[in-house]
Every structure is written in structure tokens, then in C-alpha cells.
């Protein structure tokens, strides 16, 4: 198992805790107006204009085949940085609620075996144990296939998104 310890942003989807490496998180914003893009999968909510940058947004619940849920005042968008063809790109992921930043030591992480979790095994990098809770540690690059997302949009948006 590769070294995974470090700081993680933890968040909640339903009753389950998840974590992504803090180094991939660019910012956390409240829900804002999302421009819907026709003929996209249900997990793609559309794009947002974040300080002049067009950023695609996906609902992580829907991407992970979880039940839909009404957005609340705690629902937020985590803007993450992913690598596509060795180039950094930004993507927004909608989560139910952000929890906290935690430091997870290597001895607190177990391999991502098939625990019957609601995510496919290759999305998981491990299971982190923190303060008596278990967090599914996600490989955000495996969940967010940016090229797939870009290919869903028309050519004008592709250029805007590619320039982010």
C-alpha cells in the first residue's frame, strides 16, 4: 500500500464519512447558482462562474449512485484540483456537509478492501480511522474523470473549461 498519511478534508454524504487529501482542495464554497448543461448525465449539475472561471460541478452523491437529497444550508461545493494529461484542472463536487480537516497517520489507514461500501473499490485509497470514526479515503482523480466531463460539454464550454 502506498503512503497515504497526512491531512484530509472530511465530509459527509448521507450517514457516511469520506476524506480527500487536503492538498487537492482549493476552496470550499456555499451553494451558488449552477448553470445546467443539457444532455449531460444526472451527476453533472452544470457549471459555475467562480470569480470569472468556469468550473464544472458534479453532485458526488449521484456520481456514487447514492439517493438524491435536497440541498440544505450545510450543502456545499468543494473545489478540487485534479490532474488531466499532466495539467492541473479544477472541478466542483457537491457534498452534504464538510466536517473538518484531520491528520491521519499511516497506522490509522487500512487497505481499501471490498467492505461493501457504496463506492467502487478503485475510488477508495483506504479506510481511515480517526476519533472512533471510519472515513472512506477517496481517490478524487478516479471519481472525477475530467476528460469525460469536458467531452460532455459543447466546444465553446470545452475551451473555457480547458483554460481554467
Rounded to 5 degrees, what are φ and ψ at 117? -70, 165
**pLDDT single digits (tens) 95-107:** 999 999 999 988 8
Rounded to 5 degrees, what are φ and ψ at 127? -120, 115
Quick one: 134 exposed, middle or buried, by C-beta within 10 A (0-12, 13-18, 19+)?
A: middle
DSSP assigned state of 65: T
Lowest mean pLDDT among 71-80, 104-113, 114-123: 114-123
Report whether pLDDT(147) > 90: no
CATH architecture of the domain covering 6-162: Beta Barrel (2.40)
Place of cell 458534479: 58
Instruction: Provide the residue ranges of all domains of the chain, joining segments of one domain with +.
Output: 6-162
- Determine the Cα–Cα distance for residues 75 and 13; give it in Å rounded to an integer: 10
Cα–Cα distances in angstroms (integers) from residue 50 to residues 30, 57, 61, 82, 122, in the given order: 12, 11, 22, 17, 30
Per-residue pLDDT band for 155 (boundaries 50, 70, 90) equals very low
Per-residue pLDDT band for 75 (boundaries 50, 70, 90) equals very high
The overall average pLDDT reported for the chain is 82
Cα–Cα distances in angstroms (integers) from residue 124 to residues 4, 32, 77, in the given order: 12, 28, 20
Three cell numbers at 62? 449521484
Summarize the confidence of residues 54-60 as an average pLDDT.
93
State percent of the chain over pLDDT 70. 78
Amino acid at each position: 500500500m502506498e503512503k497515504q498519511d497526512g491531512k484530509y478534508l472530511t465530509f459527509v454524504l448521507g450517514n457516511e464519512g469520506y476524506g480527500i487529501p487536503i492538498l487537492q482542495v482549493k476552496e470550499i464554497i456555499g451553494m451558488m447558482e449552477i448553470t445546467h448543461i443539457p444532455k449531460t448525465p444526472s451527476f453533472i449539475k452544470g457549471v459555475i462562474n467562480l470569480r470569472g472561471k468556469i468550473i464544472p460541478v458534479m453532485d458526488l452523491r449521484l456520481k456514487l449512485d447514492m439517493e438524491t437529497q435536497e440541498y440544505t444550508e450545510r450543502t456545499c461545493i468543494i473545489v478540487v484540483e485534479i490532474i488531466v494529461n499532466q495539467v492541473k484542472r479544477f472541478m466542483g463536487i457537491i457534498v452534504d456537509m464538510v466536517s473538518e480537516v484531520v491528520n491521519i497517520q499511516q497506522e490509522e489507514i487500512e487497505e481499501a478492501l471490498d467492505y461493501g461500501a457504496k463506492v467502487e473499490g478503485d475510488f477508495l485509497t483506504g479506510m481511515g480511522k480517526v476519533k472512533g470514526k471510519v472515513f472512506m479515503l477517496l481517490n478524487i482523480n478516479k471519481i472525477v474523470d475530467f476528460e469525460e466531463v469536458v467531452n460532455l460539454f459543447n466546444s465553446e464550454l470545452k475551451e473555457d473549461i480547458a483554460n481554467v
